[in-house]
Structure 1
Amino acid sequence: MTDTAASPPPRWHLVGPGLVAAATGVGAGDLVATLVAGAQYGYVLMWAAVVGTVIKVALAEGVGRWTLASDRTMFDGWSSLGGRGRLNWATAYFAVYVVVWGFVYGAAAMSASALPLAALFSGVDLKVFAIGSGLVGLGLVWFGGYGLFEKVMTALVGVMFVTVVGLAVIVAPDVPRLMTGMWPSLPEGSGFYTLGLIGGVGGTITMAAYGYWLRAKGWRGVAWMPVMRIDNGVAYAMTGLFVVAMLIVGAELLHAGGVALATGDRGLLDLGEVLEARFGRTVATTFLIGFWAASFSSLIGVWNGVSLMFADFWAHMKGDAAEDGIAVDGGPAFKGYALWLTFPPMALLFMDRPVALIIAYGVLGSLFMPFLAGTLIWLLNSGRVAPEWRNGWLSNLLLAAAAVLFCVLAGKELMGLF
């Protein structure tokens, strides 16, 4: 464990990889879930959005603290958790997960990015925009380094911020009623829905990619720990702001008017129609642009971040991982996984997605977050990091709460199989 920071980190350089991780985690589906929560329950579940944000901060901080304190990648940590040879229980789980999840997520991400574009340009087939989105994402991560990637993500977050928060301002929130939603309460029948709201928004495999983006940024060693914590806190505070803004829109625009939305990403298209009827075409168009920014930022975030993780996995399986981690951005395995995310999933755009694959995606997706929370508890309470950087009681409490929460949600997904 070494401190490889060349000089004290500049205090103005506070936000970067965290913003990338947070923006990747908040996709169109998350915005719909939050919007529907506001539409069904008004402001009652505001507290759940705040709790969810705190849990995501704890998870991402754990990933960042492991990366900086150990100067190792997340996959280095997973590969040290018992077993013989290069493939143990943790790395085997990751291997299965990343292949199945990546295949289905590729199609879902391309479709989500295409929906608002197809709404804006109704004469063009959605599949054209979906395939184009995948190819643009592939080109960006194939030919551009982390610096370009971060700049594009920052621009997309700016668009999301202006449109989502601006929309919340336009619908004129009832602030006193909003504040009452900070007191925890559970409306009848809202139990699992509330857990989904806490666990779903901003929670994906790309939380584990945060450490890889720290390394790509050049933040190495414990001297960068304060900067990482500020970066992470600011990024997920923005995530929380997005969630609150969408709850406001759902409560004021939909709950008050008794408007129901379609499930899935298409619910945002329904919202666009509601906005056009109430505020005019300009507001509706601006919202659709924000919808696209949220979807496309998730697409390119996964194309870059999960490809980095796969490249690290591949290096470990070949025995090529360097002692202090490996720079994998742009290598053959990185590009190979980006291709896997792009071209095979295009087949799903031309057919009904196979039911078995969708079920596998849902179950594996729900199981990754307890895997991450559980392994962080293991790693950050062990001798793999110096005593001063191990978990305190609060970190252990929040990570344990995250593990329990996501296990319950995973159980719900598994029950759905039967």
Structure 2
Amino acid sequence: EVAEAVRSAVAAGVPLTVRSGGHGSPPAAAGGVMIDLSALSSIEVAGDGLVHVGAGAHWGDVAATLAPHGLGVTSGDTRDVGVGGLTLGGGIGWLVRTHGLTIDVLRRVEFVTAAGEVLEVDAESHPDLFWAVRGGGGNFGVATRFTYQAAHVEGLVGGRVMFDQSDARAVLGAWRDVMRDGPDELNSTLMVMPPLMPEMPAGPQLVVALQGSEEELRHLLQPLLSLPSVTHVSLAPVGYGDLLEDAPPGEPPFELVGGNGFVPDLSDAALDAFAATLDHEIHTMLLLRALGGAFSRVPTDATAVAQRDGQALFAVNRLVPADAAPETVAAAHDGIDAAMAFTNGRYSNFTPEFGADIVTEIFPPETLARLRAIKRQFDPGDVFVASHHITP
């Protein structure tokens, strides 16, 4: 059915966009057709830990299906994230240091080309296309099914550590030191939240997961747990599915102004610049996700996600009211560029801007040139208009 839809759209001369799980759907191309893959949601556990998953499935359902087998596929942060979009953009999840990106455990893709052909794409069959779909987005065709190598994820312990807002910079520094010296089995994201709602306290929050014991986790986190600004500690054995959160309901009443990028060096100067973004009259949300480990052991040219030397992924967003005056929107950019100067390249799945121009900020020149060459081979007519559009 997908192949027939593609052939019909090509015959009619209209552009195509693709929707998988719907968590962050791109806008439909003007005058074009959107292919909705939500019905392709099957999840099949095969032998040797291989898992076949339809592109329209959600990661929460994948985690629930794999849990009885003691398996997991490193994936996104929330249960409602779709399999297709997250995978094609790379897939940074809660176990990125232990198991890498989602694309790093991807073994095969069922794929429909602009010519309406159905291909089985892997490292041996159509290897250039297999390289491109691992991080290059939906620019080359329609991925309808993915095969992953699941990992054993028993013995997880995780939870949250919360701090008051009094000294966010000290928390950033202690977190950097903990993760710099920590084992691959230690995964964490540090967020600094503004006072949005009573059930979400303002201040730094550490979300952490370890394949190991609670005693080992507390030992590794001791430099953070000993800070005087700690307000809450909740650490306990968890299943992988427990790490996946529910996305906030509804549309937020604000616009996000900010950016994201890979941080090659978590220097004191970088942390100073990151912390400085919090000193602003507009509510600001900051995120640092620890990388390294399995993520960094993948060669830079092995996939379309080339920033493998990143020590962390940084993101900052100012929460600007939807009805804000133009001068307020302009002021929201203050300090953002100074922080982003310490980053190198954006992460596609955290980049909300759409269009062809943004790809130069996501992909290094050599990577983008190779992606364009593969686009010319498999979609020379530019049928597929992805969120981050790579033109032939």
Structure ranking higher on relative contact order (CA contacts 8 Å, 6+ apart):
1
TM over 0.5: no
TM-score (norm 1): 0.23
Larger strand fraction of residues: 2
Q: Comparing both structures, which one devotes a greater share of its residues to helix?
A: 1
